[in-house]
Amino acid sequence: MEGKMPLIGDRFPEVQVQTTHGPMKLPNDMAGKWFILFSHPADFTPVCTTEFVAFQNRYEEFKKLNCELIGLSIDQVFSHIKWVEWIKDKLNVNIQFPIIADSGELANTLGLIHPSKGKNTVRAVFFVDPNGIIRAIVYYPQELGRNFDEFLRMLKGLQTADAQKVAIPANWPNNELIGDKVIIPPPTDIKAAEYKKAKYQNFDWWFLYRDLNAKDE
């Protein structure tokens, strides 16, 4: 993966990093778990502070979904530790997930450095599955804080799609057309089209859907 920014479907690059919880090897130390790695421009900045509080407030929800959180910026570990202490002292929020102190090597590998923004990392988010495969990538500009409820929705959607072999509609589970139902993969021949249209709720043979907990035969 050297010289190439990883894409969805690639294995997360194997790296050893220093964090506020000690050294880690990624993705190996997270084998069997999902993890979300998210970068922030810098410690002791207001938008980033609101983001870390938002992630921590949802940390238990992520853990219930077998998912760990890992922060990252190009700051020294001493800066991370002091910032975490500040958040606890001033905002009464204890940041419990690790933060990577990156030299810039991992940030460059993941494409987190925007040429017009100096050496600060952009607000990127990588969803990595229990096999170490990158499943989703989201990038935000530095001036826009992220929506952390959306990351929970994305994680639940990815896990549901994997477990039930379905696709997830827009704004799920509150889709404007089919509510909390999920989409059946479209048929690939005429016989399957006729069979699936008779079996599933649908708008047509190519737009089939079912209840989330319904069992396929």
| Domain extents in the chain | 15-146, 165-217
Pairing of strands 34-39, 15-19: unpaired
End-to-end Cα separation, the chain, in angstroms:
40
Successive 10-residue mean pLDDT values, the chain, 217 residues: 75 96 97 96 95 98 98 95 98 98 90 74 94 96 92 98 96 97 95 94 96 73
Angle at 61 between CA 60 and CA 64, to 5 degrees: 85
- The residue written with tokens 């909390």 in the block is 180
Which residue among the candidates 26, 36, 37, 48 is catalytic per the annotation? 48
CATH code, 165-217: 3.30.1020.10
pLDDT at position 3, please? 47
| 44: Cβ contacts below 8 Å, ≥ 6 apart | 79, 83, 86
Q: Nearest CA to 13 among 30, 28, 25, 1?
A: 1
Q: Are 33 and 155 in contact (CB under 8 A)?
A: no
> What is residue 215's predicted lDDT score, i.e. its pLDDT?
65
Q: What CATH class is the domain 15-146? A: alpha beta
* Residue 121 confidence (pLDDT): 84
The yes-or-no answer on residue 67 being catalytic is no
Q: What is the pTM of this model?
A: 0.93
